[in-house]
Structures are given as C-alpha cells and as structure tokens.
Structure 1
Amino acid sequence: MFATTVLVFTIYSVVFADKVSAIPCVNQMKVGLDVYNKNVNIPDKAFTSSSQATHGYRASRGRLNTRNEGSDKKGGWMAIHRDRSPWIKVDLRKPYTLSGIITQGRQCGNNWVTEYQLQYSTNGINYHYIRRPNNALVTFSGNSDRNSKVCHNFPLTRARYIRILPRKWYGNGASLRFELISADWPTQKAAKCTEYNIGLDVDNLNTYITDSAFTSSSQATYGYRAARGRLNTRYEGTSDKKGGWMASSSDDNPWIEVDLQGDYSLTGITTQGRQCGNNWVTKFQVQYRKDGDNNYFDSSGTNTAQTFDGNSDRNTEVTNSFPKLTARYIRILPTDWYGSGASLRFDLIACDW
C-alpha cells in the first residue's frame, strides 16, 4: 500500500514540471505490450497506425522489445516516409488506469521518435490529449538511439485506447516500439480476477473477432450459419439472417466453434436459445485448444467431460462457469436440445488478474 502511494506522488512531480523529463524504467507494472511479457488478451490486431513503410513495419511490430525477424517482421513500427502526421494506436480491449509509457526506437535501423504527444479514449471515438494542469499539451521527449528504453509518467488516466502522435523523429520515417504502464495494482491476496465479456455479443461487439471466425459441424440453412451464433443475434427479416445458429436436423453430433484470434484467459460462457423459434440447447460441453495446439481439451481440465445445463427458452441468458483456462479456440458441443435441431447464441467470459 505504501509503495502505491509513493508511485502516485512520483507521477505528479514528474509530469507537472516545466519540462517533461524521463524517469528510470524500473519497478513499473506493464500492461503487457512487451513481446517478453505479452498480455494474450491484446492481440496484434489491436494495433493500428496512420501508415506503414512496408507490411514488415506494420503497427503490431510496435510492441516493446520487438526484434527484426526478416522482411515480413521488422524490428519496430515505422510510418511511410511521406506521412507527416503519423500515429500509432492500441486498443487495450478493456479500460485500464494508466500512469506512463515506455518507448524504444527501431531495432534494425537508425530511426526513432524524439518528441511525441499522447491521446487517450474510452470509446475509440472521442480522443483527448494528455495535458498539464494549466491545460497545456504535454510533449514527451523520446529516444536518441535504437534500443534504449525511455520512460515517462503522466497523470492517472482511465483509457481503453491510446494513440501516440510523433512530432519529431530521426531518420526517414517515424519509428518506435512501446509499452504502457498500468496503475491497476492488484490487491494483496486478491480473491478473484476481473471478468468481462469477450465481445461476441452483437450489442457489445469485439470487431477483431469477425464472422469468419465462427465455424460449425453443420447449419440448417445458410441463414442459420455459425456466425449467427453471437449472443443477442436477432432475426433480421430475411432468410439469410436468422436469430441464431442452428445445426441440421440430421446432425447427431453438432458443434459450433469460434477462433478468438489469440489466446485469452477464460472462466465461463453465456448462452441463449434461437431468437426466432422454439429451439435451444439444454445440455452441452465445452472444449478448448490454445494457439498452436492441435489437441482439444475439456473445460473441466480433467479427463472427465463437464456437462453444463443450458437454456429452457428462446432469449433468457444462462451463464456457466468453468475452471480458468487459456484458449484461442472454443468449441461448444450440444448433447441435448429442444426442437428439430441444436440451436444457440453465446458469448464467452474472460478474466484478467
């Protein structure tokens, strides 16, 4: 507790000075953009930018400590040389309380950002600059070489989106790697993690998990395809957009799967029945596999399959929990259902400590 209090006072003394000065890059709690300490819930698709010199310098190469791995994987993000108003942005997938930033130059060449400003947002639409108490914009001093880390603290800021705007740089294009510093210090002996919905819900959509990420064993018709299995999907009045995923009536071993595009820490699932008809799954099992794995495992974490109670009507949400697991792919296997075919809509519950 005393350590947290000291950190807060340090933040304000650094940023509120006439000139923003760097601080030592030690004892900082990182969000997890660093390739050596990666937060699996922030995938490469969470990074975007105003431009890229080539695909090898794309925004996702802007993670701290990224290294050159060849022409397709360069050692940092770099904007195209004619981009005079460059920016790089990250969607942290959920709000964090942030207190600082760490930057590096390009690992594989003499390009680095020497001055930059920061914008933040909670909704990805309305952005605000990091400012001093007198409302003046804060300009941060950047790097002077390829690999040294330069750290800055700023006033505690609640944000999901962070945008870095280079103002001056060395070399033929703005280039950097970065990490963010979190002030969301875990409480001692925390009882449980912070849970949130992944964003398969059509009313709270995670745009990085596209319709093509959904697959299934079968579909009654194209209108009941796997992508219609998102939580709160509604019948849209046309034959190709029904109110849920539904397997073929002849499918005795149905399943629906989603590729989350990266590993997540998961603790549960929420399901509904078919919105536009009397079909719902009453019993089901859950299997998972990690990114890079070929084998599926049961959500119980044991050799005995865990069977969950499902739904008893069209629209009521039913949530089931399972032991915390890490997975990129989740497969739902209905074992009993009401109606002519297994039908459901779902979202997943993620967990961050």
Structure 2
Amino acid sequence: MLVTGVKIQGRADEAQWVTQFKVQYSNDGNSWTFVQHTNNQSDMIFDGNTDRSTISTNIFPAQVTAAYIRLVPTAWHIHISMRFEILGCKECKTPLGMKNRDIPATRIKVSSRGEYYIINSNDNTSTHHKGGSHARLDRFHYWVPDNDDINPWVQVYVGLGKIVSGIIIQGFKQHWTRHDFIKVQVNGSIFESINANLESTWTHDHPASHATLMFEKPVVTSVVRVEPNDCSETTRKLTNGNQIVILDCALRMELLGCGNIPEHGCVKPLGMETGDIQGTQIRVSYNHHQSNESRLNYRGYWGGSSPNINRWIMVYFGYVVNISGIVIQGYEVYWVELFVIEEMNNPTIGTQEYAANFDGYTPVTVLFEKLVHTTYIKVTPTACHNGYCGVRMEILGICDDNSNP
C-alpha cells in the first residue's frame, strides 16, 4: 500500500493524548524504517494533539510503500492514548493518460523534433517530423530527437500533485531506447533521477514490446521528464529502393501512478483559480492593480521588474487553515525560478528555497514538508527569469477539524 500520512486523535472519554510521535513502516513486519526528513535524513517527529478531540493530520515528506505501519509516541499528555487513521491508496499502477490521450499534446514537451527523410532515385526528399505527440504508448508513430540533439528528453505535465510510480517504454520496429539508459526526472525545475526496477520481460530483439519500470519509491510531482541517452543514427534501405535516415532513439511511453492524492491528503485547491479566494484577500508588494491576476491559469499575471528586492505576494484567509503547498505558474516569458515562504508561525523568511518554474505556462506543484497552520501565506521570489517575475498560483490545503469554518 502507498501510505501518504496519518491522522491522530486523543482518548474519547478522558483528557489523554499523544503530543509528539514518530512513524515506522515495514514490508515484512520484521525490518522497520522510520519516516525521515528529506533534507537531512533524520527521523521525523510529528506534531500530535493539543486536546482529546481535535484531529491532527500529518503528511509524510515522501510517500512510502508499506505492508505495516507503526506509530511510536515520544511525548504525551498524562497518558498515552491514541485513535488514528492511515492515509494513502492501495494500488499505484494506473495509466495516467499518454496512451488514451487524457494527457493532451499541449502538455508534452520535447527537446527537439527529429526528422526522417525519404530519398528517391531522383534525389527528391520528403521530410517528416516526430514530435512529442508521437511519444504515446502503442501509437503507430513514435518520437525521436533531432540528429544534433545531444541531450534529448520528453517532458510531460501530468497534472496537479499526481502520484507517479513508474513508466512503460516502447520502441518501434528495430529502433528503440535501452531501458537501462533511461533517466526519469521529477519535481519542477530541479529534476532528480529516479531509480527504477524492470518489472516486465523485454529484449532488444522485440523493441515494440513493453518495458515496465517501477520506481523504488513513488513520487508526488506535476512534471516528469524522460531522458534517453543511448541513441545512434541508422541508414536503412526500403524495399522500393528508397532510403530512410533515422535515429535509433525511438520512444513511445505511458506513465503509471495513482492519479491525484486523495483530498484527505491535504492537497485540495483552496480557491485562487476558482475565485473562492476574493481579490481583497490577495496583497502584493507592488503593481497592486495586478494582484487579482495572480490566479492559476488566469489570462494575466502578477509581477514585473522591481528595483525593490523585497517583492512578495500574500494571501490572507482571515482564519486558521491547513496549508500543504502551492502550485506556481509563470506567464509567457516571465516566471519565478526560486522562492521562499513566510507564514504566521514563522514571520521571518526562512533559508529554504523552493524551486519554481522553468517556463511561462507549466504549473509546478510544491508540497511542504509538513502542514502549515496559518491565517496567511506569503510567497517571496528570490530569483526570476531574466530578472522579471511572473506569478500565477493556487494554494493547496484542507479545511478540516483543525480549521475554522
């Protein structure tokens, strides 16, 4: 089972509850691993309850695959007493939409579009392109990079906060990409290589068959990039006497995952895009007339080039809510590359910078290490593309038992 977090509650009939705890997980019931911080690999200590009835929701910094979950209280009020729920999903191998086109062509980017040439005896040449829309599993066509592309890649925007657990790759006839030379990268503009294990039988003798690569740990991301790096050029003579020049780096693929994290996993959009968050709740450091244009997928944006380094955008809720992350998006040639977060429990800007956008239209989901309980959240860009910021965004979280109505 893929486990994303836990909810805990105190004793129903007495003033007893756990105030802090750790979490262990196991796949055999004998060997146990603590859920750890992603930055320093130390054991995470989760916040528990402050009374016997309020539910405390804790999301893991990274999802874990486990058959067993163990909660380890480290501090408590009067006596250890606990009621809890486990958050997650049982299966994480659902196709995310490359083959059936649920992922539209506009969400598929490539480093280059390869060409192949049909050359006849009269030296007439017919040129054909193989773009990102051809990279779908079992499609008659396929994607190849340009001959001069030394760092080829296919990049897919899968949606807001998807859980991605693996990839199926496929070649075309005698053209393919070796599965052991595939690199999968995730998490916005700071891409990370993902270790994968080959699950299905696949050989170079049958490149049109499927090679299923399951990640060692599923990841939460909006963007997946696949980098093949075992490509060579081949000249092939057709039966009619024509020749075809093509790269062997042919790729068709499908992404596997669990779809969106369940709403109880604290990634519900809170209303920037829909307008549920009113314009009066959005405050900015400059260009105040653009503040209402800072909504995800809006036709405008907030930003600009400001001589004032202290540039920021803030959303005020008026009551305490649980914030789990943000979705940030640029606009055309303007976008934020790095930013920091401020909230009411940490009014001074921290040192942790989050990676944001790499272009002006792809939304990037940034999930925080733990839930933030706050009445406002402020986003401060620290680096912008060519010094010119462009921001459209959504706030993620949930209004549950810990929030005001």
Same fold (TM over 0.5): no
Q: Which has the higher strand share?
A: 2
TM-score by length of 1: 0.40
TM-score by length of 2: 0.35
Q: Max radius of gyration: which structure?
A: 2
